[in-house]
Amino acid sequence: MTATADPAAGGDGAGVPRRPRVVVIGAGHAGLEIARGLRREDVDVLVVDRHNYHTFQPLLYQVATAGLQPGDIAQPVRHILQRYRNVGFRLGEVVGVDLRARNLALADGTQEAYDWLVVAAGATTTFFGVPGADEFALPLKTLANAIEIRRRVLAAFEQADRARMATPGAAVPPGLTTVAVVGGGATGVETAGAFAELFDRVLVHDYPGLDFSQARVIVIEAGEGLLDAYRPHIGEYARRTLERRRVEFRFGAGVTRVDEHGVELSSGERLPAATVVWAAGVRAHPLGEILGVGVTRGGCVAVDDTLQVPGHPEVMVIGDLAGAAAPDGTLYPQVAQVAIQQGRLAARQIRRALRGLDPLPFRYRDLGNMATVGRNAAVLQTPGGRTLTGFIAWVGWLFVHVINLVGLRNRLQVMVSWLYNYLTYDRGPRLIFPPSPADGARKDPMQ
């Protein structure tokens, strides 16, 4: 497992040819494409991830709002890779990369040598240094995040109901039944729409004693409108649709502080909210800094148009962590389609190198954008700028997301859940889990 200087001509000390070893960091959309693209090549591929499952991030907001179960959008990486005989998996976290020795260090103290390294570690959340945000606001990037948001909202409703019962007639502390969503992009819009429906279609029946005029969903957006990746009338449509569903807005307002009772805005307004979802501020995974090469906007790794790290052609960075520039100089957006297409190209670069061919530049084929606003309502925009809103766009959104889910089982489960939710106006299991002492129950080691 020692690294060689020339991957294509790999061999060990005894001169016996050795299969080149490709290590892929991250089992997201980008990382899985590499494994698929190299499945028939004469290389050994090792995928390393901190989780033993691939998360389908576009549907995380549905787990956070109790529409789907966590396992519906997670697929074990080993299950996905089973069919590729030359691809292995390693559960662990990369804490160091020695570019000279071509070696990774993992958190458990072990090391992995590589001939090619493809870094697809993705993005994480930045709180822009807003005081209290990292402690009290909840990001929505991982399964654990989504489960914690669900738990926090439901536990706050229980607390409100407890307060109502303890002192009948008295007002429930404000904000307990409020969710503040920071960020009016696609994640913020989808999350707000799903919470509005959860409140008005489901929780209103779960908590008949609570005053649901106090159950608020508030989107806070520093810009002047929603969905700024789309044409302006699309953002307008989303805003009108959400407003009809009782979502409130604060535009042109930055968050200056988050604490356990809510948020403070740059306008001076204070919004009480037991749950603050942070759907703003994506930044590259810290692995970008660990690599010790040049970085661009938000900690992304500066790469050539071939996705290779300058000076290290055997290292590629792809997906949300890659700071690859389009021919016009702008960086590609941090979306799934870019990650998937870069994953395909990275696999192709290695296949070409094995055949002695030069790498190709990355060319992004924009397939357009889509987002749901809620039941029967979605928005869609083609690369050419054509747009569609409403029911047909919503059906299209459902279709595209079911197709892109990884695994037959997950597709079946999600379809059953969506059909059930649509027909009954009910949601999935609204579990307060794992239970926490703050929910009114002691931790009991006996059960």
Q: Tell me the CA distances in angstroms from 382 to 67, 171, 219, 303, 370, one per residue in order.
A: 28, 48, 26, 28, 9
With 0-12 / 13-18 / 19 or more C-beta atoms within 10 angstroms meaning exposed / middle / buried, residue 442 is exposed
Name the residue type at position 171: A
Per CB under 8 A, does 408 bind a copy of itself?
yes
Residue 357 in the binding site for a copy of itself (CB under 8 A) = no
- Per DSSP (E only), the strands in 305-361 are 308-309, 312-317, 322-323
- Using the rule CB under 8 A, give the single segment among 36-44, 313-321, 353-361, 438-446 that binds a copy of itself: 438-446
Check binding of 240 to a copy of itself (CB under 8 A). no
Place of tokens 């299969």: 19
Report, in Å, the least distance between residue 131 CB and a copy of itself. 16
- Evaluate whether 270 touches 276 at the Cβ level (below 8 Å): no
Among residue numbers 45 through 64, which ones bind a copy of itself (CB under 8 A)? 50-53
To the nearest whole angstrom, how small is the minimum distance from the Cβ of residue 15 to a copy of itself? 20
- Amino acid sitting at position 442: R
- Segment contacting a copy of itself (CB under 8 A): 36-44, 173-181, 201-209, 356-364? 201-209
Choice from 99, 113, 367, 431 touching a copy of itself (CB under 8 A): 431
Residue tagged 């028939």 (tokens)? 40
Residue 232 interacting with a copy of itself (CB under 8 A)? no
Nearest to 340 by CA among 412, 407, 404: 404
| Residues taking part in catalysis | 190
Site string for a copy of itself, 202-221 (x = CB under 8 A): ---xxxxx------------
Sequence length of the chain is 447
Q: Give the phi and the psi of residue 88 in degrees, each rounded to 5.
A: -115, 170
Contact indicator for 74, 28 with CB cutoff of 8 Å: no
44 binds a copy of itself (CB under 8 A): no
CA distances in angstroms from 324 to 224, 257, 279, listed in the order given: 28, 33, 23
Q: Which residues in the 81-140 window bind a copy of itself by CB under 8 A?
A: 82, 85, 88, 90-93, 95, 106-108, 110, 124-125, 134, 139
| Span of 36-44, 311-319, 361-369, 415-423 interacting with a copy of itself by CB under 8 A | 415-423
Contact 151, 197 (CB under 8 A): no
Taking the C-alpha atoms of residue 86 and residue 39, their distance in angstroms, rounded to an integer, is 6
Q: Which stretch binds a copy of itself (CB under 8 A): 186-194, 219-227, 242-250, 408-416?
A: 408-416
Among 232, 327, 383, 440, binds a copy of itself (CB under 8 A): 440
Question: Residue 47 Cβ, how far from a copy of itself at the closest point, in Å?
Answer: 13
The nearer residue to a copy of itself, 106 or 325, going by C-beta atoms, is: 106
Binding string to a copy of itself for residues 136 to 155, with x set by CB under 8 A, is what?
A: ---x-xxxxx--------x-
Q: By C-beta, is 163 or 367 nearer to a copy of itself?
A: 163
